Amino acid sequence: MKFIVDQQVEDIEMPENLKLNTFLQEFHSNCPHPQCSFGFYGFAFGQSPFPVPKTIQDALIKNVDKGAYAAVQGIPELRDAISKYNKYYFAMDIDPKRIYVGPGTKELIFNLLEVLHGTVILPTPAWLGYLPQIRFLKKNYHMLPTRANRKISPNDLRKLALRLQDRQKILILNNPHNPTGLLYDRLELEEIADVCREQNITVISDEIYAQTTYDFSKFVSMGKIYPEGTFVTNGLSKSHAAGGYRLGYVIFPQHAVDLKTQFKKILATEYTAVSTPIQHAAVAGFEISKEMDEYFEVTRNVHHIMGEYTHHALSSIEGIKTTKPDATFYLLADFNSFATDLQKAKINTSQKLSESLIIHPYHTAIVGGDSLVLERNDFSARIAYVDYNGSQVYQNYLNNKPKSSHERLEFVKNNAPKVVAGIEMIAKFFEHLRKDTLFDLQIQKKSRITPN
């Protein structure tokens, strides 16, 4: 039987995360070289490598019998725990009535875009998740390219907002930022908030990486700076390494009374409520405890060590520039100084660059610029420095915390050999490119392994 797909779905592009999975799988099944069985240096997937905290796992086991549907907005114990978590870590006083729980922040951001009228302003580069949602909802949108410092310029934001006709505009702010790893400080947020007040811009502040801020005292939520106009989203996925649990929350702005009923309608229509056992497990993750405090400290310190190394190692390669991450487990690497050589080698787009890096002999997976909402010929890429065994590294860190810069370097070499080797592979790729031996090598190997 042939099924006819709805035009609305036909019209949307494959989201980048799916494309990436398909691409890597295809690469695996098609690569005949014995070395391909080893896999690849994984700088592509944005997933925390650490185990789900034990306290969350235990709470999930204890609550497996909770078979009843939960309240649409989330169970009261969880909203209460999230409120206290925000007070303790982010110094925010949030009435639990302002909190809505959903199956991941991705879904909640989608729900917010459904409920809020207005043109979306998307600063670029951006996380690969937003654009397919905006397009799916057929919303008007405008990109806001950032400048050399890779942060939103308040002046550019004002200029763009002045050109837009809509009474309401929606800015997607992602802080700390995927893919650059950068953090907005209080002053930068205040300047953006001033423009938002002046131009009637609502902010969706995606703060899913807040807890990973290396110098945690520096993180400030936009919900504190612009409480009347900001929806803050956060969840379990990154800070608690539990993306698969699918649990996020949104904090509504102060006094958004009318909107709450409309929002609840959407949640009730689309998914009724988040799985009840998962909500109970999440309570343990948001409750203030010594275990969770230690978990956040260890994981953010390890991300910091890995980030420092990756930044230093990549930017020491001639021609490569990278952002210096303040948070997350990503940085943005800029390979544009190789543009002429890349074009000579018929690598004309960032997608082609990702493909050339994944095939033999380089085996290195990165996320290319067009997946980050950059121009197709912008040779920038996101590098996720998480290719190591999180459980083991967590324990090793606790057993022997590296202090000096020498010890930090040794820590990376001993605990994340694939990160070290993957960066060496990137260096090798660009060295071959410069020497014009890149394609020779790939063609030679290809003909050697697939003779006909």
User: What residues make contact with ligand PLP under the rule CB under 6 A?
Assistant: 46, 104-106, 127, 129, 174, 178, 206, 208, 235, 237, 243, 248
Residue (112 or 412) nearer to ligand PLP, CB:
112
303 close to 411: Cβ distance less than 8 angstroms: no
In order of 50, 154, 386, 441, the CA distances from 418 in angstroms are 16, 39, 9, 22
Smallest gap from residue 170 Cβ to ligand PLP (A): 15
d(Cα 236, Cα 242) in Å, to the nearest integer? 6
Give whichever of 105 and 221 is closer to ligand PLP, judged by the CB atom.
105
DSSP string, 146-159: --TT-S--HHHHHH
Q: Which is nearer to ligand PLP, 56 or 317 (CB)?
A: 56
Which one-letter amino acid corresponds to residue 299? T
Cβ 31 to ligand PLP shortest distance, Å: 27
Interatomic CA distance for residues 234 and 260, integer angstroms:
18
19 or 446: whose CB is closer to ligand PLP?
19
Paired strand residues for 143: 122
Rounded least distance, CB 138 to ligand PLP, Å: 21
Indicate the residue among 129 and 229 with the shorter CB distance to ligand PLP: 129
CB of 208 to ligand PLP, least distance (A): 4
Residue 330 token pair = 């990503």
Which alpha helices (H) appear in 116-256, and where do they start and end?
Answer: 130-136, 154-163, 186-199, 222-225
CB of 407 to ligand PLP, least distance (A): 30
Q: Which residue is nearest to ligand PLP (CB)?
A: 104
Nearest alpha carbon to residue 302 among 184, 425, 416: 416
Residue 46 or 422: which CB sits closer to ligand PLP?
A: 46
Q: What's the min distance (Å) between Cβ of 386 and ligand PLP?
A: 12
Half-sphere exposure of 180 (CA within 13 A, CB side): 24
